């Protein structure tokens, strides 16, 4: 693991620097929920690149640099092979492309489970390398000690319960969780444990709706639903899923656009114009004076 950090704050050519904006903070996200009530739900989407962050930033409260980038960006079969270096590089790009949202970066599989000390080393690397505001890790009561350890040392932590993709091999697949009484109670108990340990928010993924509601009511910090319930304190989706970039998406995804069709149509037109020599035309070529 490299320990040399170079944070480039330059913007890309696609990003006109806006008037100075005050970025939201972790305490501001935590404070959205007061006495069990969240007046304004938290909007969260995934982002993996600077340009994507530029387009999402004004509309979101939180940008999550998810380890889902393993599948979305790198074509990996799961999130398991994702590395700290991959997460740090993409998180740095998202921070450079955003001015408003809190940027949270996933801790990848194998980077925090061994001990609180390992988690601290990994989280420190991620935050120093990217300038992100917080980390997210999966697991409930088993991770409570680690969450408290990080929180007490100045590292804000977002929790993640229910369907935890990094544990897919143990869970046996990506099916919804909480269908049995025991499993449902465990999700609520896990949420409480993370809340008590100091998590500033908790992602509740792929659970029976009544359990998502019960978990939301059981904790003082905000819950962020993904395949949970509209009664969670906020919502998150993988951006590429909600934009229709992939043919197959989880049941809980609502497609707000079919960007894949738009891209295919544009590329088809481009290929046709290249083959018929109609591109480039006069507007795209330089002529002698």
Q: Which residues are annotated as a binding site for Mg(2+)?
A: 67, 106, 138
The yes-or-no answer on residue 205 being catalytic is yes
Detail the residues annotated as belonging to a binding site: 67-68, 106, 136, 138
Active-site residue, selected from the candidate residues 113, 121, 145, 205: 205
Return binding residues for 3-methyl-2-oxobutanoate: 67-68, 106, 136
Largest CA distance in the chain: 79
Catalytic residues: 205
């Amino acid at each position: 693991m490299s320990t040399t950090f170079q944070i480039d704050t330059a913007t890309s050519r696609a990003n006109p620097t806006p008037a100075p904006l005050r970025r939201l903070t972790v305490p501001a996200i935590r404070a959205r929920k007061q006495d069990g009530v969240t007046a304004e739900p938290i909007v969260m989407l995934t982002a993996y690149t600077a340009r994507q962050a530029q387009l999402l930033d004004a509309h979101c409260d939180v940008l999550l640099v998810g380890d889902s980038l393993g599948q979305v960006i790198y074509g990996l079969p799961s999130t398991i092979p994702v590395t700290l270096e991959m997460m740090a590089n993409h998180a740095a790009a998202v921070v450079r492309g955003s001015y408003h949202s809190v940027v949270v970066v996933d801790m990848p599989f194998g980077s925090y489970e061994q001990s609180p000390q390992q988690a601290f080393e990994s989280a420190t690397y991620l935050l120093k390398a990217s300038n992100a505001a917080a980390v997210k890790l999966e697991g409930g009561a088993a991770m409570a000690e680690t969450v408290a350890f990080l929180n007490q040392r100045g590292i804000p932590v977002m929790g993640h319960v229910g369907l935890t993709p990094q544990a897919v091999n143990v869970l046996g697949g990506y099916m919804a969780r909480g269908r049995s009484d025991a499993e449902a109670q465990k999700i609520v108990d896990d949420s409480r444990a993370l809340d008590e340990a100091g998590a500033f928010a908790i992602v509740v993924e792929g659970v029976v709706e009544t359990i998502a509601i019960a978990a939301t009511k059981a904790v003082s910090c905000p819950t962020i639903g993904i395949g949970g319930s509209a009664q969670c304190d906020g919502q998150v989706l993988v951006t590429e899923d909600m934009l229709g970039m992939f043919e197959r998406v989880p049941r809980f995804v609502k497609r707000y656009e079919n960007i894949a069709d738009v891209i295919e149509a544009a590329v088809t037109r481009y290929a046709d114009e290249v083959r018929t020599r109609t591109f480039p035309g006069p507007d795209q070529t330089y002529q002698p004076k």
